[in-house]
């Protein structure tokens, strides 16, 4: 087994150039997404219009996360690559064509049924107000669900063929079209309802661009659609069977945040004209208007470090873990999974603390413009802090789940995930009244933390015991460094009070952020936390192995 190690190190090193490209494009997409969210906040503020939009956009966005961020790749790529290597390209194209056709038919049928139900509901039941706006926006955004899911499937084909850059560009394209809608299309309309529908139309147009942009590179790499794909049907069923438990397990956090948004919209006080307030029982509503939008912005902020670090780390480790499992080296799988967890602790703990401490100045800097006032900023900052406390847990789940899938276990994460969804719903109702909207966000964070503990404990039964002493040492060192960093950050926040000037808001964010990061990395170096630099040593390891 010793001679195999240099080969594994070499393969791992060769993966990093593509990983760096994906990480860079992901960072660009996240930055554009922040600018986009700033524009949405300035145009609509925290209110009924943005509440309805954020809830409506959950439907296609949830589909994008389920199909585009792990589940489809995990289920489809192994079968596609096996077909490509064992039966040739013709058979692989037939399989890809079969999956695309079945997916297209299923999505079109689902969207058509949904549109008919929404239309019949509007035709037979008079809703009015925010409910009418919500139904209209869901109907307008439904076609985007088809486009983004097909784009995710084509991206999986390109990933299997070793091409990553164009699929990583898809969110960048959507954000650009979305921003064009905010600053160029929406201002042409007078009412906020017309503006939000115009932006929804731009999102659908962005979905068309995302799908079409993948086709030239796919055809250049040799892909072609095979109409006679019926012989590939058994393999389609194999992919579907493997995909279902992965879909549910990976979507637990997304389902929890969707439940948060739906409950926030349902229990929020509607915006009703003053003349209508006389016959409304305001005591029936537990949350202020704009809670669903505040939750959305809070989720966007915690997904920033999750997308850049958590997803990238999972992408790096998953092939390595899979190779160890195929060779029967569960000891190496356990070691590399422990390395991933130590990296999560080293980066996730300070990231969680940073979002909690800097929630208010970040919100003031990014969102408090135009119709988004100080009250909206305070409401959103509470969500960012609550969700941000669980960043380390969200990242750890990505790593631990990949350990299960590498070992061939798809059922355990599924079963645990279903129980966590129920727990999150129970915590939502328990915390909603005393904590308001922040209770919904806190329920999701607490559920994720508990889920990490449970799945990590159960995983040991399959792959063996982790090096808990090494893991505890990393927790202690990262914890001490995070505490010192947090104290420095709090002191700096007290010295730099934010006001209405943009320059002061910038200082209130970037001075504590940069100084705190410098303090943390300095302490990490003093404490010997080598995990932080482990990912950047791959190329040097390759050179060493070749020598």
- Residue 476 inside a domain? The answer is no
- Residue 141 inside a domain? The answer is yes
Classify residue 284 as left (phi > 0), alpha (psi -120 to 50) or beta.
alpha
Q: What share of the chain is helix, strand, coil (3-state, %, to 5)?
A: 85, 0, 15
CA distances from 312 to 298, 345, 372, 399, 533 (A): 21, 15, 33, 10, 15
- The residue with tokens 């080296």 is 329
- For the question of whether the overall pTM of this predicted structure is more than 0.85, the answer is no
Number of domains, the chain? 2
What is the pLDDT, as a whole number, of residue 546?
31
Distance of CA 460 to the CA centre of its chain: 27
In this structure, the dihedral spanned by the alpha carbons of residues 523, 525, 529 and 535, taken in order and rounded to 10 degrees, is 130
Q: Is pLDDT at 227 greater than 90 in this prediction? A: no
Q: Is pLDDT at 52 greater than 80 in this prediction? A: yes
Q: Is pLDDT at 276 greater than 70 in this prediction? A: no
Distance, CA of 215 to CA of 490 (rounded, Å)? 50
- Residue 515 inside a domain? The answer is no
Whether residues 339 and 405 share a domain: the answer is: yes
Give percent of the chain with pLDDT exceeding 70. 79
Distance, CA of 330 to CA of 421 (rounded, Å)? 30
- Residue 472 inside a domain? The answer is no
Whether residues 226 and 207 share a domain: the answer is: yes
Q: Is pLDDT at 449 greater than 90 in this prediction? A: yes
Whether residues 209 and 332 share a domain: the answer is: no
Distance, CA of 482 to CA of 228 (rounded, Å)? 58
What is the pLDDT, as a whole number, of residue 8?
40
Whether residues 217 and 263 share a domain: the answer is: no
What is the pLDDT, as a whole number, of residue 316?
61
Size of the chain in residues: 547
Whether residues 236 and 97 share a domain: the answer is: yes
What is the pLDDT, as a whole number, of residue 7?
44
What is the pLDDT, as a whole number, of residue 283?
45
How many Cβ atoms from other residues are within 10 Å of residue 78's Cβ?
16
- Residue 71 inside a domain? The answer is yes
How many Cβ atoms from other residues are within 10 Å of residue 109's Cβ?
10
Across residues 369-388, what is the average pLDDT? 83
Whether residues 96 and 155 share a domain: the answer is: yes
Q: What is the pLDDT of residues 93-108, one digit of tens each?
A: 999 999 899 889 988 9
Which region among 45-59, 243-257, 505-519, 533-547 has the lowest average model confidence (pLDDT)?
533-547
Distance of CA 272 to the CA centre of its chain: 34
What is the pLDDT, as a whole number, of residue 356?
92
Distance, CA of 126 to CA of 307 (rounded, Å)? 41
Q: What is the pLDDT of residues 291-325, one digit of tens each?
A: 777 887 887 788 777 777 776 666 666 666 766 77
What is the pLDDT, as a whole number, of residue 69?
54
Mean pLDDT estimate for the chain: 79
Whether residues 229 and 375 share a domain: the answer is: no
Whether residues 215 and 352 share a domain: the answer is: no
Across residues 517-544, what is the average pLDDT? 70
> By three-state DSSP, how is residue 511 classified?
helix
Domain-ending residue, one of 432, 465, 498: 465
- Provide the pLDDT confidence category of residue 206 given band limits of 50, 70 and 90: very high
Whether residues 231 and 309 share a domain: the answer is: no
- Provide the pLDDT confidence category of residue 274 given band limits of 50, 70 and 90: very low
Q: What is the pLDDT of residues 414-435, one digit of tens each?
A: 888 888 888 988 998 888 878 8
Q: Is pLDDT at 367 greater than 70 in this prediction? A: yes
Which region among 128-142, 340-354, 491-505 has the lowest average model confidence (pLDDT)?
491-505
Whether residues 305 and 214 share a domain: the answer is: no
- Provide the pLDDT confidence category of residue 207 given band limits of 50, 70 and 90: very high
- Between 280 and 508, where is the model more confident? 508
What is the pLDDT, as a whole number, of residue 178?
94
Q: Is pLDDT at 363 greater than 80 in this prediction? A: yes
Largest CA distance in the chain: 82
Domain-ending residue, one of 465, 489, 516: 465
- Provide the pLDDT confidence category of residue 377 given band limits of 50, 70 and 90: confident
- Residue 506 inside a domain? The answer is no
Domain-ending residue, one of 465, 487, 521: 465
- Provide the pLDDT confidence category of residue 12 given band limits of 50, 70 and 90: very low
Which region among 11-20, 243-252, 534-543 has the lowest average model confidence (pLDDT)?
534-543
Q: Is pLDDT at 278 greater than 70 in this prediction? A: no
| Phi and psi angles of residue 268, each rounded to the nearest 5 degrees, phi first | -85, 145
- Residue 7 inside a domain? The answer is no
Q: Is pLDDT at 352 greater than 50 in this prediction? A: yes
What is the pLDDT, as a whole number, of residue 127?
58
- Residue 8 inside a domain? The answer is no
202 with 185: CB under 8 angstroms? yes
| Radius of gyration from C-alpha coordinates of the chain | 24
Whether residues 435 and 389 share a domain: the answer is: yes
Distance, CA of 445 to CA of 428 (rounded, Å)? 11
- Between 276 and 264, where is the model more confident? 264
CA-wise closest residue to 441 among 289, 304, 303, 294: 294
CA-wise closest residue to 27 among 213, 172, 158: 172
Note down the domain range covering 418.
Answer: 251-269+287-465
Whether residues 238 and 158 share a domain: the answer is: yes
What is the pLDDT, as a whole number, of residue 408?
74
């Amino acid at each position: 087994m010793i001679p195999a190690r240099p080969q594994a190190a070499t393969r791992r090193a060769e993966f990093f150039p593509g990983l760096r490209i994906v990480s860079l494009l992901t960072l660009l997409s996240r930055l554009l997404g922040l600018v986009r969210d700033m524009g949405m906040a300035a145009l609509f503020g925290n209110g009924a219009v943005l509440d309805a939009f954020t809830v409506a956009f959950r439907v296609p966005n949830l589909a994008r996360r389920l199909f585009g961020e792990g589940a489809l790749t995990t289920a489809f790529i192994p079968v596609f690559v096996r077909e490509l290597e064992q039966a040739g390209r013709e058979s692989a194209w037939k399989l890809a064509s079969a999956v695309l056709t079945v997916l297209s038919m299923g999505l079109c049928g689902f969207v058509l049924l949904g549109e008919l139900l929404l239309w019949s509901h509007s035709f037979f039941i008079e809703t009015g107000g925010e409910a009418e706006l919500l139904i209209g926006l869901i109907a307008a955004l439904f076609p985007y669900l088809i486009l983004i899911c097909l784009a995710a499937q084509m991206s999986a084909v390109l990933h299997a063929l070793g091409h990553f850059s164009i699929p990583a560009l898809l969110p960048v394209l959507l954000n650009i079209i979305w921003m064009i809608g905010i600053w160029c299309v929406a201002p042409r309309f007078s009412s906020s309802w017309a503006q939000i529908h115009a932006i929804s139309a731009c999102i659908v147009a962005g979905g068309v661009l995302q799908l079409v942009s993948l086709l030239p590179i796919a055809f250049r790499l040799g892909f072609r659609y095979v109409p006679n794909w019926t012989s590939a049907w058994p393999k389609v069923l194999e992919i579907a069977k493997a995909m279902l438990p992965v879909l549910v397990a990976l979507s637990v956090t997304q389902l929890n945040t969707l439940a948060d948004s739906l409950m926030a919209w349902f229990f929020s006080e509607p915006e009703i004209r003053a003349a209508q307030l006389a016959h409304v029982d305001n005591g029936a509503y537990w949350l202020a208007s704009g809670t669903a939008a505040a939750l959305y912005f809070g989720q966007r902020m915690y997904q920033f470090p999750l997308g850049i670090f958590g997803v990238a780390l999972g992408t790096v480790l998953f092939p390595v873990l899979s190779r160890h499992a195929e060779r029967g080296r569960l000891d190496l799988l356990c070691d590399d999974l422990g390395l991933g967890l130590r990296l999560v602790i080293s980066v996730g703990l300070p990231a969680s603390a940073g979002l909690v401490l800097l929630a208010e100045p970040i919100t003031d800097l990014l969102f408090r413009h135009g119709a988004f006032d100080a009250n909206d900023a305070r409401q959103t900052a509470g969500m960012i802090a609550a969700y941000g406390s669980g960043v380390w847990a969200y990242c750890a789940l990505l790593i631990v789940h990949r350990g299960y899938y590498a070992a061939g276990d798809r059922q355990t994460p599924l079963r645990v995930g279903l129980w966590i969804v129920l727990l999150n719903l129970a915590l939502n109702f328990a915390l909603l009244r005393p904590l308001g909207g922040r209770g919904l966000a806190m329920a999701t964070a607490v559920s994720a933390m508990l889920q990490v503990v449970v799945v990590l404990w159960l995983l040991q039964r399959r792959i063996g015991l982790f090096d808990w002493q090494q893991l505890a040492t990393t927790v202690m060192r990262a914890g001490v460094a995070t505490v010192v960093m947090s104290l420095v950050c709090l002191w700096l926040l007290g010295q730099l009070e934010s006001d209405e000037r943009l320059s002061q808001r910038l200082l209130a964010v970037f001075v504590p952020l940069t100084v705190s990061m410098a303090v943390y990395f300095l302490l990490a170096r003093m404490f010997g936390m080598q995990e932080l630099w482990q990912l950047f040593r791959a190329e040097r390891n390759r050179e060493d192995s070749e020598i």
